[in-house]
Amino acid sequence: MLSFSLPPKVAFVTLVQRSAEKKIHFIDCQITTEHLKNFGAKEMLRARFLKLLERALKSTTSS
């Protein structure tokens, strides 16, 4: 039997995989949880986030 919490987890894993394939640099999760840390989520200072965001906005992703 499929757990009700499984589909969102599968969707998130798919999002992470597709993002990596498309060379998307990061996903802004906004709230750090143990679950997200399992996927590599890291907390960062706002200044670093804004620097990374500025760099990401200048780069291209694959189609």
| pLDDT, one tens digit for every residue, the chain (63 residues) | 445 577 888 888 899 899 889 888 888 888 888 888 888 888 999 999 999 999 988 887 776
> What's the sign of the alpha-carbon dihedral 23, 43, 14, 57?
negative
Distance CA 26, CA 12 (A): 13
Among residues 8, 47, 6, 49, the alpha carbon closest in space to that of 27 is found at: 49
Q: What is the pLDDT of residue 48?
A: 95
pTM strictly above 0.85: no
Domain ranges of the chain: 23-63
